[in-house]
Structure 1
Amino acid sequence: MKKLLQCLIIVLVFIGCGTANYATQEYIPIKKTPVKYKKSNKIEKSPSTNLIEKMNDNKIAIIFPSYTIGKYALEATNSVNTYLIHKNTNFTLKVYDLRVQNRQNIFKVIAQIQKDNISKVIAMITKEDLVYLNEIPNIDKIQFYFPLINKYDVKNIAKLNKLNALFGAINYKEQFKKLINYYRGRSFVEFYDNSGIGRTLHSHLKNERIKFTKKIDDNNGKYKSFLVNNPKLNNSVLLLNTPIVKSSILLSAINAQRSTIFSIVSTQLNYTPLLFSLTQKNDRKKLIVANSIGKIPSELEEYNNLIGNNLSYSWVNYSITVGVEYLINGNITIFDDLSLKNNQVVYPIKLYRVKNNSFQLIK
């Protein structure tokens, strides 16, 4: 089964076209129902014609800027493929690489999508360039899914009135709210770094009362200067807004310096099994993480696991899968703990303690 899936998850060969690349793949499912023959004088369409018509209904495009999200782009394409093969449905998947996300490339790719008569698009772009889509003629004829954008993070969303869109990113602000409410009454401190996600998470806390904030960048692993003899850390809850590798180093340093931090909390950013290989047991004993990846239909999870495409710990892959379900069926009812509200996917938020070798749900 694994070899079969790996064969079906086709490696896409990109064909250069100006500043963007395009590739196409088609899939016709294997039907197990026996063929029935009957006499008829009626001239019917051939099976191949019917398949082509159905494929036209299930044509999906995925666009992304590979220079900035190359890794996620490959995983996203695999997620779309795996979902559609799991559904055993006819589909045509067309992949458009923006390379660099800017107005010119977005206009060029959308023009090609319109020429290719595709009306369902997964757009892996960031919120900064949504305004360009709104400028394109007949853009309302395309149904967009934005897996990397949460609607409530977009300023002046009302001005994007031409877009027919569903937003699918998780809500980091709500994760922070749940983490902070869990330790209501405690004082909070924050460590963040200069990565894109670090700056974004830091900005989400601008309205919170944070007693001490430290930007972690050029310390070369030497964190003693702010971890030792820092009274602001005493009995405080640390909001850890750094990616997993830096988080692991910080957790180790906090433990080594016998810091008097009361607890450490983090968002989806550090909900990853890498914690168990990059840290020691005592390093993570105070850590609690938030997670918004909901229930996954068991068969769909098995298909993804067979090709090494983990949905349980990759919220981007999970969001992509939710988006394909919506574009194909017009709903997301197979994900029974998710909902749609005002063109935004609403995810559950659960808190987990990081134990010896697993995440333990806090009920």
Structure 2
Amino acid sequence: MKLWLPLALSLFLFAGCTATNQAPAPYKPTTYNISSNAKKGVAINQKSTATYPGSEITPSETLPPSAPIVIDSTISSTTLAMATPTPSTSVEPTSDQPFEPVIAAPMPKPLNDDSTMIKIAVLVPQKTIKKYAITSVNSVISYLLYKNYYFDLNVFNSGDEKEESIAKALSDIQAGGYHYIIAPVTAEGANIIASRVTDTLVFIPTLHSSNVRSSGANIIFGGIDYDQQIALLAGKANERVGTFEDGSGLSYQLNALVKKNSNRVVYEKRVESPKANFRQMFKGNGSLNNASLYLNTQLVTSSLIASQLRANDIHPYTLLSTQVNYNPLLLTLTQYEDRDQMYIANSIQKAPAALEEINTMFGHDIVYDWVNYSTSIGADYLCQQFFNGTIQRTFKETITGNQVVYNTSLYQPGRNEFIRGN
């Protein structure tokens, strides 16, 4: 037994060492599998779930040398055929059409030249008229550019309307040899100009002739006729009239005109600030119901009055206002229900679209701003005088008794625009 055990172990070891080894399998490179060919449960040797065309490795081929290829990039036709013609169709080359450039119409030749240049002086008391010191000047420039005139425009800023300041500006204008003067001033400045200028044509866009004590035939006024506007608004009022004013000189003037055109004013209220306590003012004030209320206040205050009346359940017969509140901001500061019974007098007419656009480029408008509109009328009138009446005026407003006569109409502030009323 002791001999069999070592013998068996020796035979076992000998058989394991002399076993025949199989030849190794040839090397097969790893390839990416397409996800649609992968079998469930089989490990996929890839980092992506899909391959792309051309990812297989192909042996490179050596191409014989060849002559360089020349590509003719010349286009012999204005039409490119994008499809191969079939036996039943054919592509006929189109004939080349000569290019005809479109020449823009030349600008009209100015009616004057350097030797006959229009010389206009703009006198502005900047501290008094504030923003109109700039917009009135730009309105004149816009008109002259629109008409394509040769012009010499100079601005003389008097600062204020003291007599010595106005006199100094007028002396400088006279020394410069200017033909015409446009002066957006108040009544104080207008009276000084009227007493000192007699031989130069002056246009004052900011005042109506009724606001000045006296003036010569050489001074033309372009201000709004508020008397005419109030008289037109009075036609929409009933027998019970109320007024709101803000303490300014203009509101005082408008209140006086309301009393002139109305037999019975049952309510008068001064609102000096938009921060006034409107709830206390209107709460339980039934006397305002069915009354015709004139808003002789500035835009923000007028908008608050209109909205607070409705908020306090007060229903007036109508709301009436002059040119002061002819402003598109009224449409956004109030709700439609606040103004559905409102009428506003307006004296601004439609100007040429090109002229409106030029004014817009200067950052202001002649569509809603009556001072800029009046200034444009003044420039138009002075230019016609310069050409001795040989040119047609752009604006249709007539000038009677040294005053621009406006065609005033009533408008209602609709939902998105002002609508001309009856």
- Give the TM interval when normalised to the shorter protein: 0.7 to 0.9
Residue number among 261, 277, 286 corresponding to 2:341 in the alignment: 286
1:292 to partner: Cα distance: 0.3
Measured in 1, the distance between the counterparts of 2:147 and 2:274 equals: 50
Q: Which has the larger radius of gyration?
A: 2
Which residue of structure 2 lines up, in the alignment, with residue 225 of structure 1?
280
Measured in 2, the distance between the counterparts of 1:348 and 1:238 equals: 24
What is the letter of the counterpart of residue 363 of structure 2?
G
> Contact between 1:194 and 1:216, CA under 8 Å: does it hold in 2?
yes
Tell whether 2:405 aligns with 1:351. no
Which residue of structure 1 lines up, in the alignment, with residue 218 of structure 2?
164
> Contact between 2:242 and 2:266, CA under 8 Å: does it hold in 1?
yes
1:198 to partner: Cα distance: 2.4
> Contact between 1:103 and 1:132, CA under 8 Å: does it hold in 2?
yes
Residue number among 154, 166, 171 corresponding to 1:111 in the alignment: 171
Residue number among 134, 137, 140 corresponding to 1:80 in the alignment: 140
Tell whether 2:336 aligns with 1:276. no
> Contact between 2:161 and 2:188, CA under 8 Å: does it hold in 1?
no
Which residue of structure 2 lines up, in the alignment, with residue 41 of structure 1?
none
Residue number among 249, 252, 260 corresponding to 1:199 in the alignment: 252
What is the letter of the counterpart of residue 275 of structure 2?
N
Which range moves more in the overlay, 88-97 or 192-201? 192-201
Which residue of structure 2 lines up, in the alignment, with residue 298 of structure 1?
353
Per the alignment, in what secondary structure is the counterpart of residue 264 of structure 1? strand
Cα distance per residue 1:85-120 (max 9 Å; x no partner)? 111110011101111111111111111111111130
Which residue of structure 2 lines up, in the alignment, with residue 53 of structure 1?
115
Per the alignment, in what secondary structure is the counterpart of residue 204 of structure 1? helix
> Contact between 1:179 and 1:265, CA under 8 Å: does it hold in 2?
yes
If each structure's helix is expressed as a fraction of its own residues, which one has the higher value?
A: 1
Measured in 2, the distance between the counterparts of 1:149 and 1:33 equals: 35
User: Unaligned stretches of 5+ in structure 2?
Assistant: 1-105
Which residue of structure 2 lines up, in the alignment, with residue 12 of structure 1?
none
Q: TM-score when scaled to structure 1?
A: 0.79
Measured in 2, the distance between the counterparts of 1:129 and 1:79 equals: 21
> Contact between 1:266 and 1:288, CA under 8 Å: does it hold in 2?
yes
Cα distance per residue 1:17-40 (max 9 Å; x no partner)? xxxxxxxxxxxxxx8589xxxxxx
Per the alignment, in what secondary structure is the counterpart of residue 258 of structure 2? coil
Measured in 2, the distance between the counterparts of 1:52 and 1:196 equals: 45
1:218 to partner: Cα distance: 5.4
Measured in 2, the distance between the counterparts of 1:233 and 1:312 equals: 33
Measured in 1, the distance between the counterparts of 2:108 and 2:168 equals: 43
Cα distance per residue 1:271-322 (max 9 Å; x no partner)? 0001122222222222211100013123222322344321110101100000
Cα distance per residue 1:8-62 (max 9 Å; x no partner)? xxxxxxxxxxxxxxxxxxxxxxx8589xxxxxxxxxxxxxxx943222xx10011
Percent identity, please: 33
Which range moves more in the overlay, 294-303 or 97-106? 294-303
Measured in 1, the distance between the counterparts of 2:291 and 2:218 equals: 45
Which range moves more in the overlay, 96-105 or 171-180? 96-105
Measured in 1, the distance between the counterparts of 2:257 and 2:164 equals: 30
Measured in 1, the distance between the counterparts of 2:107 and 2:370 equals: 34
> Contact between 1:190 and 1:214, CA under 8 Å: does it hold in 2?
yes
Measured in 1, the distance between the counterparts of 2:147 and 2:294 equals: 40
Residue number among 302, 307, 317 corresponding to 1:247 in the alignment: 302
Per the alignment, in what secondary structure is the counterpart of residue 201 of structure 1? helix
Residue number among 112, 126, 137 corresponding to 1:66 in the alignment: 126
Tell whether 2:189 aligns with 1:129. yes
1:72 to partner: Cα distance: 1.2
What is the letter of the counterpart of residue 176 of structure 1?
I
Which residue of structure 2 lines up, in the alignment, with residue 173 of structure 1?
227
Higher relative contact order (CA 8 A, sep 6+): 1
Which residue of structure 2 lines up, in the alignment, with residue 92 of structure 1?
152
What is the letter of the counterpart of residue 348 of structure 1?
N
1:181 to partner: Cα distance: 1.6
Which range moves more in the overlay, 345-354 or 223-232? 223-232
RMSD (Å) for aligned C-alpha atoms: 2.1
Measured in 2, the distance between the counterparts of 1:33 and 1:238 equals: 51
Per the alignment, in what secondary structure is the counterpart of residue 322 of structure 1? helix
Per the alignment, in what secondary structure is the counterpart of residue 334 of structure 1? coil
